[in-house]
């Protein structure tokens, strides 16, 4: 299974529900504001409703109290004028002319009075009978009634003689003649107790008493629940019976002078009303207002609160988007930087200017990158020294063989001084062996010293061959055979030879360490289809189980006992190959060994083609 370069970066498990900070901020702000505006709006509407209802109750009570007083004084004025008439026109000594004068005076004062009737006791039992009747022609002219119509006024309503007793001074009756004129009939007794005076009045002055309030419907009813005065004249003309109205019912029950009541009308609407009795008359003033109408401002307040809340929410939406962008965009840049670090590149730059905690985090992050880069450099060096140390025996061995040769040939040459040809041959061999020593030492020295990242053209096969020379002895003394299979046409690459050698040494030593009972390690090179240089380090060891294949490139991952493994070899190698724009992967089947594959882009086309796919 090939392991891609991105594998070492651990991927966190996706949480089930992902809510971004942006939405969390939005929800938090919206919820807080909604709660605040909601609670405030609810309280305001509640208080306002409470206050408004109290006000309406008071206003109703005041309206009916005022209207009943006004009605009482109006009736008192008319009654007084009738009594004055009675005093002058009905005294026993009054002549017909006196009576006419008195009537004229009365009609002069009462321009609303259409007709006056006088009922006097007659016969043995003193039954009250119509005695005299006068028509006010001037007043009648102002209406659409004819004198003949006035006779119809008493058609279906008799004069309520019985009602005029005790507490009651005046009785009002609705005697309108539909469809025309609203007429109210007022009856009172002559203070001497004999005659009864009946005056038919235009409805106008009573109307003025009840037609004051606009929102409130104020009207007067008699003791049977029939409308006497109403701002809407059709109610009066139509002699509307409102006795079914719960408020009127309560007023007619007659136990109290005045009261307030909330009730549901026949059409289902709730009303708030009040009633008051007009003193010394069988008359009630009623006022009522639909509760919805009374609380219209409350509804308006509620609607505006909702509108306000919506407005505030919209504003909060905009603000929170702005805020969260401010907050999350540096976080996103940090995340991108984290990913770069995850890929092993530590030269990060995070463009976060803010002076807040996120800015601090970004700066700390950049510092961390720098530190990591330094530490990586140190790791590289220490791994190299470790490899160098492990190869110390190899150096000794490699140098010891040619040295032995040099020494032997030098001794042989001394003995054969006379044989010029032999000496020349031995000197050539000495030179060859000495050059080999120099090569080995120079190579090791290069490897040990080099720490620069200088890139130069590297011959892959030569570099692998050098690595094989360095490894060979270390492997041989551990019973591991080293084989090389250098392919033809492997392209040269741009790179740092000592660093690449270190990678091959790391892989070779790992392979040897994996095969405690011995085996084979093969260093092979080839050119792949894409033209890359490929270096394969394979072994015949136990292989790497799939579950740890993904982890072996992580720093400090090791399966070796403490003191034997640092877990850094593969991670450092991975970093080096990556810096060469190449890939390092592993293919392994448990029990059948492991093959580490390095792919490096060729030098010539490096600038033209993208790096090989991971
Ligand atoms: N050729 C290989 N065969 C089997 N396992 C290997 C081989 N190469 C590496 N590993 C595993 O990868 C781990 C990490 O290797 P490395 O990073 O070099 O650290 P270390 O060698 O210090 O343990 C090793 O501990 C080993 O388990
Ligand atoms: Mg190792």
Residue-range domain boundaries for the chain: 55-294, 299-375, 394-449, 452-614
Atom of ligand 1 nearest to the CA of 570: 17
State residue 610's pLDDT score.
Answer: 53
Whether residue 44 has pLDDT greater than 50? yes
Q: What's the gap in Å between 338 CA and the centre of ligand 1?
A: 26
Tokens of 95: 């002549």
Q: Which fold has domain 394-449?
A: Helix Hairpins (1.10.287)
Q: Pairing state of beta strands 113-122 and 196-202?
A: antiparallel
Ligand 1: residue of 3, 480, 510 to mutate (most ligand atoms within 8 A of CB) is 510
Tokens of 16: 């089930």
Cis bond before residue 179 (omega within 30° of 0) = yes
State residue 533's pLDDT score.
Answer: 96
Higher pLDDT, 582 or 555: 582
Q: Whose CA is nearest to atom 25 of ligand 1?
A: 558
pLDDT > 70 fraction of the chain, expressed in percent and rounded = 92
- The rounded Cα 375 to chain-centroid distance in angstroms is 45
As a whole number, mean pLDDT of residues 95-114 equals 90
Tokens of 257: 């002078």
Whether residue 153 has pLDDT greater than 60? yes
Whether residue 302 has pLDDT greater than 90? no
Higher pLDDT, 381 or 222: 222
Q: How many residues belong to the chain?
A: 614
CB-based burial, 322-343: b 16+ in 10 Å, e otherwise: eebeebbebeebbeebeebbee
State residue 4's pLDDT score.
Answer: 43
Q: Does residue 611 sit in helix, strand or coil?
A: coil
With beta carbons less than 8 A apart as the criterion, state whether 430 and 411 touch.
no
Ligand 1: residue of 543, 552, 593 to mutate (most ligand atoms within 8 A of CB) is 552
Ligand that comes closest to the CA of residue 570:
1
Full DSSP string of 551-583: TTTSTT---SPTTT--S-HHHHHHHHHHHTT-E
Whether residue 416 has pLDDT greater than 70? yes
Q: What's the gap in Å between 595 CA and the centre of ligand 1?
A: 12
Q: What's the gap in Å between 3 CA and the centre of ligand 1?
A: 14
Which H/E stretch holds residue 424? Answer: helix 420-449
Q: What's the gap in Å between 355 CA and the centre of ligand 1?
A: 45
State residue 575's pLDDT score.
Answer: 83
Q: What's the gap in Å between 581 CA and the centre of ligand 2?
A: 22
Q: What's the gap in Å between 576 CA and the centre of ligand 2?
A: 14
| HSE-up of residue 495 (Cα within 13 Å, Cβ side) | 27
With beta carbons less than 8 A apart as the criterion, state whether 333 and 358 touch.
no
Ligand 1: residue of 517, 546, 570 to mutate (most ligand atoms within 8 A of CB) is 570
State residue 330's pLDDT score.
Answer: 83
State residue 394's pLDDT score.
Answer: 65
Atom of ligand 1 nearest to the CA of 571: 17
* Residue in 81, 78, 71, 66 with CA at minimum distance from that of residue 282: 71
State residue 103's pLDDT score.
Answer: 92
Report how far apart, in Å, the C-alpha atoms of 134 and of each of 67, 139, 147, 295 are: 31, 12, 10, 51
State residue 612's pLDDT score.
Answer: 55
pLDDT > 90 fraction of the chain, expressed in percent and rounded = 34
Q: What is the pLDDT of residues 570-599, one digit of tens each?
A: 988 888 898 898 999 999 999 999 999 999
Q: What's the gap in Å between 30 CA and the centre of ligand 2?
A: 56
* Residue in 481, 535, 57, 448 with CA at minimum distance from that of residue 272: 57
With beta carbons less than 8 A apart as the criterion, state whether 394 and 457 touch.
no
State residue 47's pLDDT score.
Answer: 92
Tokens of 477: 């003394």
Q: What own/partner pairs with CB < 8 Å and gap ≥ 24 does 163-167 have?
A: 163/187, 163/282, 164/188, 164/189, 164/196, 167/280
Q: What is the pLDDT of residues 23-41, one digit of tens each?
A: 888 888 888 888 988 898 8
What is the C-alpha separation between 185 and 174, in angstroms, rounded?
A: 6
Whether residue 463 has pLDDT greater than 60? yes
State residue 453's pLDDT score.
Answer: 63
State residue 3's pLDDT score.
Answer: 43
Confidence band, pLDDT 50/70/90 cuts, at residue 391? low
Q: In what order do the strands lie in the sheet with 183-189?
A: 127-135, 113-122, 196-202, 183-189, 170-174
Q: Which of 45-49, 139-143, 255-259, 604-608 has the lowest mean pLDDT?
A: 604-608
State residue 11's pLDDT score.
Answer: 47
Whether residue 6 has pLDDT greater than 50? no
Atom of ligand 1 nearest to the CA of 572: 17
Confidence band, pLDDT 50/70/90 cuts, at residue 614? very low
Tokens of 330: 């540096």
Atom of ligand 1 nearest to the CA of 567: 19
Atom of ligand 1 nearest to the CA of 506: 18
Q: Is 367 exposed, middle or buried (0-12, 13-18, 19+ CB in 10 A)?
A: exposed
Supply the mean pLDDT for the chain. Answer: 85
Q: What's the predicted TM-score (pTM) here?
A: 0.55
Q: Which of 149-163, 180-194, 418-432, 461-475 has the lowest mean pLDDT?
A: 149-163
Ligand that comes closest to the CA of residue 540:
1
State residue 451's pLDDT score.
Answer: 54
Whether residue 397 has pLDDT greater than 80? no
Report how far apart, in Å, the C-alpha atoms of 372 and of each of 44, 378, 467, 569 are: 61, 10, 28, 17
Q: Does residue 261 sit in helix, strand or coil?
A: strand
With beta carbons less than 8 A apart as the criterion, state whether 197 and 79 touch.
no
Whether residue 316 has pLDDT greater than 60? yes
As a whole number, mean pLDDT of residues 203-232 equals 86
CATH architecture of 55-294: 2-Layer Sandwich (3.30)
Whether residue 606 has pLDDT greater than 50? no
Q: Pairing state of beta strands 480-486 and 519-527?
A: parallel
State residue 125's pLDDT score.
Answer: 83
Q: What is the pLDDT of residues 513-553, one digit of tens each?
A: 999 999 999 999 999 999 999 999 999 999 999 999 988 98
Q: Whose CA is nearest to atom 11 of ligand 1?
A: 552
* Residue in 92, 172, 159 with CA at minimum distance from that of residue 119: 159
Higher pLDDT, 566 or 222: 222
What is the C-alpha separation between 56 and 65, in angstroms, rounded?
A: 14
Which H/E stretch holds residue 393? Answer: helix 392-415
Whether residue 5 has pLDDT greater than 50? no
Q: What's the gap in Å between 552 CA and the centre of ligand 1?
A: 6
Ligand 1 environment, Cβ below 6 A: 506, 510-511, 514, 539, 541, 544, 552, 557-560, 565-571, 594
Q: Which fold has domain 452-614?
A: Heat Shock Protein 90 (3.30.565)
Q: What is the pLDDT of residues 360-386, one digit of tens each?
A: 888 888 888 888 888 877 777 777 777
Q: What's the gap in Å between 483 CA and the centre of ligand 2?
A: 20
Whether residue 441 has pLDDT greater than 50? yes
Whether residue 604 has pLDDT greater than 90? no
Atom of ligand 1 nearest to the CA of 511: 1
Q: Which of 178-192, 435-449, 498-512 has the lowest mean pLDDT?
A: 435-449
């Amino acid at each position: 299974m090939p392991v891609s370069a991105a594998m070492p970066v651990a991927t966190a498990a996706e949480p089930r529900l992902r809510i971004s900070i942006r939405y969390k901020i939005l929800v938090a702000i919206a919820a807080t504001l909604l709660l605040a505006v909601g609670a405030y709006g609810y309280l305001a509407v509640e208080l306002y409703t409470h206050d408004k209802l109290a006000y309406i109750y008071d206003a109703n009570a005041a309206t009916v109290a005022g209207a009943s007083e006004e009605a009482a004084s109006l009736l008192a004025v008319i009654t007084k004028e009738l009594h004055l008439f009675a005093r002058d026109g009905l005294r026993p000594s009054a002549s017909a002319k006196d009576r006419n004068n008195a009537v004229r005076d009365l009609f002069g004062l009462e321009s609303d009075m259409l007709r006056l009737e006088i009922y006097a006791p007659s016969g043995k039992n003193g039954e009250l009978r119509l005695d005299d009747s006068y028509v006010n022609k001037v007043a009648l002219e102002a209406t659409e009634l004819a004198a003949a119509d006035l006779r119809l006024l008493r058609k279906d309503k008799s004069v309520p003689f019985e009602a005029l007793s005790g507490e009651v001074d005046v009785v009002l009756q609705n005697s309108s003649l539909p469809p025309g004129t609203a007429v109210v009939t007022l009856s009172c007794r002559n203070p001497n107790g004999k005659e009864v005076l009946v005056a038919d009045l235009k409805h106008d002055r009573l109307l003025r008493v009840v037609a004051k309030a606009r929102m409130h419907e104020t009207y007067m009813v008699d003791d049977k629940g029939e409308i006497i005065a109403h701002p809407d004249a059709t109610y009066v003309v139509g002699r509307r019976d409102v006795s079914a109205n719960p408020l009127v019912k309560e007023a007619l029950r007659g136990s109290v002078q005045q009261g307030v009541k909330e009730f549901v009308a026949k059409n289902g609407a709730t009303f708030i009303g009040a009633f008051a009795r007009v003193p010394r008359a069988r008359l009630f003033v009623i006022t009522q207002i639909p509760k919805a109408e009374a609380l219209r401002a409350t509804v308006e307040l509620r609607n505006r609160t909702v509108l306000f809340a919506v407005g505030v929410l919209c504003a909060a939406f905009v603000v929170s988007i702005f805020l969260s962008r401010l907050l999350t965009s540096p976080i996103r840049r940090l995340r991108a930087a984290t990913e770069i670090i995850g890929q092993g590149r530590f030269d990060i730059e995070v463009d976060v200017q803010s002076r807040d905690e996120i800015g601090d985090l970004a700066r700390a992050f950049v510092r961390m990158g720098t530190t990591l880069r330094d530490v990586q450099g140190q790791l590289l060096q220490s791994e190299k020294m470790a490899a160098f140390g492990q190869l110390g025996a190899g150096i000794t061995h490699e140098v010891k063989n040619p040295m032995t040769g040099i020494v032997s040939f030098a001794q042989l040459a001394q003995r054969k001084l006379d044989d010029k040809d032999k000496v020349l041959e031995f000197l050539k061999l000495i030179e060859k062996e000495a050059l080999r020593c120099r090569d080995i030492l120079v190579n090791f020295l290069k490897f040990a010293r080099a720490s620069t990242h200088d890139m130069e053209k590297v011959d892959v096969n030569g570099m692998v061959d050098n690595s094989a020379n360095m490894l060979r002895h270390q492997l041989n003394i551990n019973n591991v055979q080293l084989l090389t299979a250098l392919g033809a046409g492997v392209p040269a690459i741009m790179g740092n030879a000592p660093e690449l050698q270190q990678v091959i040494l790391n892989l070779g030593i790992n392979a040897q360490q994996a095969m405690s009972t011995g085996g084979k390690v093969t260093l092979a090179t080839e050119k792949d289809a894409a033209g890359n240089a490929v270096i394969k380090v394979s072994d015949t060891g136990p292989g790497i189980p799939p579950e740890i294949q993904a982890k072996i490139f992580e720093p400090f991952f090791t399966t070796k006992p403490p003191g034997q493994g640092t877990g850094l070899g593969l991670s450092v190698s991975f970093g080096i190959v990556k810096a060469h724009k190449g890939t390092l992967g592993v293919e392994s089947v448990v029990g059948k060994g492991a093959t580490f594959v390095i792919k490096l882009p060729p030098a010539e086309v490096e600038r033209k083609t993208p790096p090989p796919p991971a």
